[in-house]
């Protein structure tokens, strides 16, 4: 589930928070339905804070799903370089925004990672 993909397909500006929140809520409802049907789902949005990841993990586990967390790291400079190379945002993302977001994002700690299932390698 990628809110960016849906927003792009619907010609919605990626910076508009209200439609993003609605799309993520709709995707989460669809995700939970798919999990009850035994399907695997990758949620690729939000969860910048532990509290958000806690909600997703807890609700998915309540449906009997395994829950893995995959987190990648890169320097702020590398992230900004990749954003510029991708060149998909309108208006373009500025360095100051990357710095601001870096202060908001709460990387998962080893203790938090231990709350999730270990990744399976049977793909």
* Residue 16 included in any domain: yes
* Residue 15 included in any domain: yes
Q: How many domains are there within the chain?
A: 1
* Residue 32 included in any domain: yes
* Residue 27 included in any domain: yes
pTM: 0.87
pLDDT digits (tens, 9 = 90+) for 64-107: 999 999 999 999 999 999 999 988 777 889 999 999 999 999 99
- The confidence band for 122, taking pLDDT boundaries of 50, 70 and 90, is low
* Residue 120 included in any domain: no
pLDDT number for residue 87: 85
* Residue 23 included in any domain: yes
Residue 19's domain comprises 3-113
pLDDT digits (tens, 9 = 90+) for 33-69: 999 999 999 999 879 999 999 999 999 999 999 999 9
Contacts by residues 41-46 (CB-CB < 8 Å, ≥ 24 positions apart):
41/1, 42/1, 43/1, 44/1, 44/2, 45/1, 45/2, 45/3, 45/4, 46/3
pLDDT digits (tens, 9 = 90+) for 12-30: 988 899 999 999 999 999 9
pLDDT number for residue 76: 95
* Residue 94 included in any domain: yes
* Residue 122 included in any domain: no
């Amino acid at each position: 589930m990628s809110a960016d993909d849906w927003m792009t397909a619907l010609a919605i500006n990626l910076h508009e928070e209200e439609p993003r929140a609605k799309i993520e809520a709709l995707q989460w409802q669809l995700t939970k339905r798919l999990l009850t049907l035994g399907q695997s789902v990758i949620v690729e949005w939000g969860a910048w804070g532990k509290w958000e990841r806690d909600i997703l993990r807890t609700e998915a586990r309540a449906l009997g799903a395994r829950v893995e967390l995959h987190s990648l790291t890169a320097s702020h400079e590398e992230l900004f370089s990749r954003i510029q190379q991708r060149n998909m945002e309108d208006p373009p993302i500025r360095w100051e925004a990357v710095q601001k977001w870096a202060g908001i994002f709460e990387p998962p700690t080893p203790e938090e990672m231990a709350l999730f299932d270990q990744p399976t390698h049977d793909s």
